[in-house]
Chains A and B, each alone.
Chain A
Amino acid sequence: MKTVDKSYYNTVLSAAFSSCGKYLACGNVYGDIVIYKLSALSNHSVEFFEEGLSKAPKNKILLQASKTCHISSLISNDQFLIAGIGDQIVGWSWNDLINAESSNSCPKSAWNISIPKSSDNADTHADVNALKITQNAETNLSILYAGCGDNKVHSFSLEDGRLLRSYAGHTDYIHNIDIKDNVLVSGSEDGFIRTWDCRTSEMINLLEPHRQKDVCRNDLGPWIGDVSLNDDWLLCGGGVRLSLWNLRNLTFPMSVFKKTKDDGIHVAKFHQDQILAGGMAPYFSVLSYNNELHTKIESSSGTIYSYAVSSSQNSSAMLCIAGNGNLMDISANFKFREYVIPFY
């Protein structure tokens, strides 16, 4: 039997740069993770795209992580590449992955954590939609936070995989989370944004963007696709419009961004003094805090689901955007797409 090629309906749900900035990992709906070596790219070689196609084994590793589940989230730290696959969080050691590239074998996962099953409904899917890592500067302990399909955020110790806390309160699944200085923020399909105290798992604030006339979009629903925090501000978007809120006064939005012209926000991030946003629109927006649209980066996908920025000190920051397509766009200047690389 033959039919449309697998890559035609590929959707890339997650992306993450390695902490060294040399590798880019992307996960899709078929349960595959692709890891690209970016050395060629950092040299600003234009041939990267072609090389990526023809000499695929040289520059990429294809990891078949799961046969049935999506790779909903990816994150990386110094040691591990961590993926949310179904109700599992799976970690691979970067060393194994890099060795696998040269030996051309399929690396085994280093560890995995199961999301605890909630007792009330057996059929609830605890998808791991969002992953975040914090590192305590004093104790040097890493904590992994997972925003899940069981409407909760769970935190795990990365040392032993122990469940530390669960942050319960949302009535629908968690789309995304963010952490800043012991404040955890979660955005959910139910239309609410909750901020939590990391250390006590108590809720600090409840934000309902869809109650705001300006922010609400009735035809798209109240859901929150992404939330971000920085020192003073909270950024959110989804079915509701992309909006910026002052953390000290969450009654009214500081600004509502209408220039993105999207049908739903899936990515809303702070980057330096800019705001990055993407979603159900064929481009990625770069905006200023005071509602100026800096650039529209054209995207190869119709809807953008995943976003990653390399944070290495050695090289300049790099942006990866992907979504419902086989192609992923890469930009180093945050102004236009410089490279297009295929997943398969």
Chain B
Amino acid sequence: MVRDTMDRHPKLKRGDSKTENSLKILSTDSNKQYLKVLNTEEKEAQSRSGDADTTIFKEICEKFREIIKSIADLKSKNDASNRNAILHLRVDASMLFLKMKKLNRLEKFRLHSAREKLHDTKRQVDNLHLQWQNLLYETHHLKKEISNCMSFKSKDEHIDLIPVEEFYESAPETITRPEITKKDRHRLRLAQLEWELTQRKVLAETCNELMIEKDKTASEIRKKKDRIENLIPMIKNILSATKPVQEYLGLSSSQIQTEPELAQLLPPPLYFLSIQANAMEEATGDSVKLTIIGDKDSAARFNTAVTESIAVEYSDSEDEGQSHHHRRKTKSQIKEEKIKKLLTKHPLSAKLQISLKDGNSLSITFHHLVNLRIISIIPVANTKGFDGLSCRHLLESRHLLNGLYDKDYGERSPNPANTYQLEQLGIEYNPLELGLPYFWVQKLCGLDFTNRNRPVDQALDRKTNAEQRNISVIVQKVRQHFRSVVDLCEQIQDFEKLFIPMKNRDIISYPVKTACTLLKWELISWDRISTDPAFETLLQNLDLSEYDRFFETIFVRNTAKLIAKVIVKPNYPDMTPVFSIRIENGSKKYNAQNNNNVRDMEKEVNFYVEELYEKLGKQKNWILTAQMNKLAICFDIFLECTDRDNFPREKLFYHHVRGRSRSLPFKFVTRGKEGLFVQR
């Protein structure tokens, strides 16, 4: 800036340098003098006003012009006299000139100082301007910062926190500090975040532990898989090695592998069953047929879906997307889905057809409940002509095979794990919907849920345990049982039509006429038995339950009436039917409790049934008819012995009563072609 002003005043500089040069020449005294002069001149210039000097300068210029004019005038006259005048004038002019010079100098000083002043001010202004701009910039920057801060998004807003109420409940007092947080929302938030953090830490730890466990299991699975895969070549080797043996035995390998593709899609337990059934069919040529029901494609799809779902379940069961997906559904929907999943049946089922010689047949459909891991069956009887109420009840699927093994009623799942699974979803096993999961069915299909603590398993001795694995024994048993049910139905059908069946009459009946007639036969409910006080002791003695069938039958002779409740256990005829008798004769009512003869009658029909049983030989299934026949005759004898006036004696017997107990002649003994009744 200084240079700048120097450049603007080249004259002054030149003058300065001239003066400096001259100053150098001048002695120090003169120099001092000069500086003194300069100072005074400067002061003079300051003290004088420029405007006044201008007017003075103009006046001097006027005077100078006049002098020059007058000199010129004088010169033009060219007069010698004028020479003096001119000289005079010249002196005046020079004086004026000096004055002018002085003024000029003063002016120069003034200009110089003005310039300096201007320069100073200008610099000051520049400075201020700069400062202002700096401040402006700063404010702008701060404003920007503020807005930045204002628009800053904190991460905590993205964290899902538990609701406040829950937070106060679950978190410890040291974290919640309700006295502070209740008032201060910010502190509350902080406390919540702190709690969330501790929670997450704990969860992360458990997560880690589980991950480690998972890795362990995965490695185990891998090991096992490897082992199984290693087995394949060995098995192949064995297969190839056995080929000559097979050929020697006349079994070509192609013959063995004729099993249909569908069978290979069966779930393992049903496959196990189908192989056994096929083997049995081949070996014995038994009239048993196993067919596989279901669509091949859907089975294949199902199988792959199952393997995939297992993979998903085990690899990344904690997939977030999936869990979010679940969260969106309502609780009931999830539950429904879970129930549906748990109760899934495999699309393929095996149907075992067992036929009897008379054309009636039984088809048992085996279902695999994939997630319950059990097998259930639905037995269906294909019979003709049994349309009575009692028969239809007997042939119902859920009653049909109840008596095959003791206490095995197929009501509950044999897999102990299912109890928990079902309980968790708040449902119970419904055999009507899902089929009957008998214990023997599981064994037959190679599943074993034996538990020594359960009564149903304790009832099994070693022999039956082995027997239940053997399909041929089971089929034999099922056929026999079905035969007995069909025979029972045939008898009951006749009872419902109120006559005693004629079949096997020669073995069953006695060479005597029965005077009483059958009036009624009907099915009665378990409730009527369980609430009847007369059954209190029988209930315990026979271990009665709702799985047994109950009937009521009435015989009449004149005014006398015999009412009997008949108990048919599911394992008929192994367990023979049991009768509970009541007799009404006029105003008198007898039963086994108040009358020993009625008790003896029951004993005759219930306990001495073994005599009838032996007599029946192979026709054991007709024991009910034999008992009914016996009951009718006993009723006749009872009336003929105890009410001799109203009921004339038709039966042949020696004594009405005998012995201390005055017992009646219920026992029949043959004498030649005829026979007679005696006391025991």
Chain B residues, CB < 8 A from A1: 573-576, 609-610, 613, 620
**A302 and B594 contact, Cβ closer than 8 Å, known pairs A4-B541, A6-B607:** yes
Q: How far, in whole Å, are A305 and B600 apart by their CA atoms in the complex?
A: 14
Rounded to whole Å, the gap between the CB of B600 and the closest CB of chain A is 8
Q: Could you give, for residues 118-135 of chain A, a 1 whenever the CB lies within 8 Å of some chain B CB and a 0 otherwise?
A: 000101110101000000
Q: How far, in whole Å, are A189 and B661 apart by their CA atoms in the complex?
A: 11
B602 in contact with A9 (CB, 8 Å): yes
Closest to B567 in A: A4
Q: Which residues in window 1-20 of A have CB below 8 A to B?
A: 1-6, 8-9, 11, 13-14
Q: Which residues in window 158-208 of A have CB below 8 A to B?
A: 173, 175-176, 189
Rounded to whole Å, the gap between the CB of A37 and the closest CB of chain B is 26
Q: How far, in whole Å, are A252 and B399 apart by their CA atoms in the complex?
A: 66
Stretch at the interface among B135-143, B480-488, B651-659: B651-659
Closest to A281 in B: B594
Chain B residues, CB < 8 A from A3: 575-576, 578, 606-607, 609-610
B603 in contact with A127 (CB, 8 Å): no
Chain B residues, CB < 8 A from A2: 574-576
Does B99 belong to the interface (CB within 8 Å)?
A: no
Does B293 belong to the interface (CB within 8 Å)?
A: no
B537 in contact with A8 (CB, 8 Å): yes
Does A70 belong to the interface (CB within 8 Å)?
A: yes
Q: How far, in whole Å, are A124 and B573 apart by their CA atoms in the complex?
A: 37
A29 in contact with B658 (CB, 8 Å): no
Rounded to whole Å, the gap between the CB of B652 and the closest CB of chain A is 11
**Which of the residues A6, A72, A263 comes within 8 Å of B660, measured between beta carbons?**
A72
Q: Could you give, for residues 582-617 of chain B, a 1 whenever the CB lies within 8 Å of some chain A CB and a 0 otherwise?
A: 000000100011111001001100110110010000
Does B662 belong to the interface (CB within 8 Å)?
A: yes
Q: How far, in whole Å, are A105 and B30 apart by their CA atoms in the complex?
A: 174
A189 in contact with B657 (CB, 8 Å): yes
Q: How far, in whole Å, are A14 and B660 apart by their CA atoms in the complex?
A: 9
Q: How far, in whole Å, are A183 and B538 apart by their CA atoms in the complex?
A: 47
**Which of the residues A123, A129, A302 comes within 8 Å of B596, measured between beta carbons?**
A302
Chain A residues, CB < 8 A from B620: 1
A266 in contact with B660 (CB, 8 Å): yes
**Which of the residues A8, A11, A123, A129 comes within 8 Å of B541, measured between beta carbons?**
A8
Does B680 belong to the interface (CB within 8 Å)?
A: yes
A72 in contact with B659 (CB, 8 Å): yes
Q: How far, in whole Å, are A149 and B541 apart by their CA atoms in the complex?
A: 35
B599 in contact with A324 (CB, 8 Å): yes
Does B542 belong to the interface (CB within 8 Å)?
A: yes
Does A48 belong to the interface (CB within 8 Å)?
A: no
Among B578, B595, B678, which residue has the most Cβ atoms of chain A within 10 A?
A: B595
Closest to B661 in A: A305
B596 in contact with A280 (CB, 8 Å): yes
**A9 and B596 contact, Cβ closer than 8 Å, known pairs A29-B661, A129-B659:** no
B654 in contact with A123 (CB, 8 Å): yes
Among A4, A14, A129, which residue has the most Cβ atoms of chain B within 10 A?
A: A4
Chain A interface residue bracket vs B: 35 or more
Q: Which residues in window 277-319 of B have CB below 8 A to A?
A: none
Chain A residues, CB < 8 A from B678: 123
**Which of the residues B574, B575, B594, B661 comes within 8 Å of A263, measured between beta carbons?**
B594
Q: Which residues in window 96-152 of A have CB below 8 A to B?
A: 121, 123-125, 127, 129, 149
Q: How far, in whole Å, are A303 and B607 apart by their CA atoms in the complex?
A: 19
Q: Which residues in window 563-583 of B have CB below 8 A to A?
A: 573-576, 578
Rounded to whole Å, the gap between the CB of A314 and the closest CB of chain B is 30
Rounded to whole Å, the gap between the CB of A34 and the closest CB of chain B is 18
Rounded to whole Å, the gap between the CB of A265 and the closest CB of chain B is 11
Closest to A125 in B: B658
Rounded to whole Å, the gap between the CB of A226 and the closest CB of chain B is 9
**A13 and B542 contact, Cβ closer than 8 Å, known pairs A3-B575, A8-B537, A302-B596:** no
B660 in contact with A302 (CB, 8 Å): no
Q: How far, in whole Å, are A81 and B216 apart by their CA atoms in the complex?
A: 80
Give chain A's interface secondary structure class: loop
A324 in contact with B658 (CB, 8 Å): no
A127 in contact with B602 (CB, 8 Å): no
Rounded to whole Å, the gap between the CB of B495 and the closest CB of chain A is 20
B602 in contact with A5 (CB, 8 Å): no
Does A270 belong to the interface (CB within 8 Å)?
A: no
Does A223 belong to the interface (CB within 8 Å)?
A: yes
Chain B residues, CB < 8 A from A14: 660
A302 in contact with B658 (CB, 8 Å): no
Chain B residues, CB < 8 A from A303: 596, 661
Q: Could you give, for residues 73-100 of chain A, a 1 whenever the CB lies within 8 Å of some chain B CB and a 0 otherwise?
A: 1000000000000000000000000000
Q: How far, in whole Å, are A118 and B363 apart by their CA atoms in the complex?
A: 65
Rounded to whole Å, the gap between the CB of B428 and the closest CB of chain A is 31
**Which of the residues B594, B599, B613, B659 comes within 8 Å of A127, measured between beta carbons?**
B659
B575 in contact with A9 (CB, 8 Å): no
Chain B residues, CB < 8 A from A280: 594-596
Rounded to whole Å, the gap between the CB of B133 and the closest CB of chain A is 115
Q: How far, in whole Å, are A1 and B599 apart by their CA atoms in the complex?
A: 21
Q: How far, in whole Å, are A85 and B662 apart by their CA atoms in the complex?
A: 16
Q: How far, in whole Å, are A173 and B609 apart by their CA atoms in the complex?
A: 29
Rounded to whole Å, the gap between the CB of B575 and the closest CB of chain A is 5
Chain B residues, CB < 8 A from A121: 654
Closest to A219 in B: B588
**Which of the residues B538, B573, B602, B660 comes within 8 Å of A129, measured between beta carbons?**
B660
Q: Could you give, for residues 625-659 of chain B, a 1 whenever the CB lies within 8 Å of some chain A CB and a 0 otherwise?
A: 00000000000000000000000000000110111
**Which of the residues A9, A70, A129, A305 comes within 8 Å of B606, measured between beta carbons?**
A9
Among B537, B596, B607, B609, which residue has the most Cβ atoms of chain A within 10 A?
A: B596
A324 in contact with B607 (CB, 8 Å): no
Chain B residues, CB < 8 A from A5: 541
B596 in contact with A127 (CB, 8 Å): no
A4 in contact with B658 (CB, 8 Å): no
B599 in contact with A302 (CB, 8 Å): yes
Chain A residues, CB < 8 A from B679: 125
Q: Could you give, for residues 540-564 of chain B, a 1 whenever the CB lies within 8 Å of some chain A CB and a 0 otherwise?
A: 0110000000000000000000000
Q: How far, in whole Å, are A8 and B609 apart by their CA atoms in the complex?
A: 14
**A324 and B680 contact, Cβ closer than 8 Å, known pairs A3-B609, A9-B606:** no
Q: How far, in whole Å, are A52 and B523 apart by their CA atoms in the complex?
A: 41
Q: How far, in whole Å, are A3 and B613 apart by their CA atoms in the complex?
A: 11
Q: How far, in whole Å, are A228 and B576 apart by their CA atoms in the complex?
A: 44
Among B654, B655, B659, which residue has the most Cβ atoms of chain A within 10 A?
A: B659
Closest to A127 in B: B659
A13 in contact with B660 (CB, 8 Å): yes
Chain A residues, CB < 8 A from B609: 1, 3
Chain B residues, CB < 8 A from A72: 659-660
B603 in contact with A175 (CB, 8 Å): no
A4 in contact with B606 (CB, 8 Å): yes
Rounded to whole Å, the gap between the CB of B124 and the closest CB of chain A is 126
Closest to A4 in B: B606
Closest to A2 in B: B575
Q: How far, in whole Å, are A123 and B652 apart by their CA atoms in the complex?
A: 13
Chain B residues, CB < 8 A from A189: 657, 662
Closest to B591 in A: A302
Among B588, B607, B661, B679, which residue has the most Cβ atoms of chain A within 10 A?
A: B661
Closest to B602 in A: A9
- 13 extra interface residue pairs, beta carbon distance < 8 Å, beyond A4-B606, A173-B659: A1-B610, A1-B620, A4-B538, A4-B578, A5-B541, A70-B680, A127-B659, A129-B659, A149-B658, A176-B660, A223-B662, A264-B662, A280-B596
Listed from nearest, the 8 A-B pairs whose CB atoms lie closest are A9-B603, A2-B575, A303-B596, A3-B576, A4-B606, A9-B607, A324-B596, A302-B593
11 contacts between A and B (CB under 8 A): A1-B609, A1-B613, A2-B575, A2-B576, A4-B538, A4-B542, A5-B541, A8-B541, A70-B680, A73-B660, A121-B654
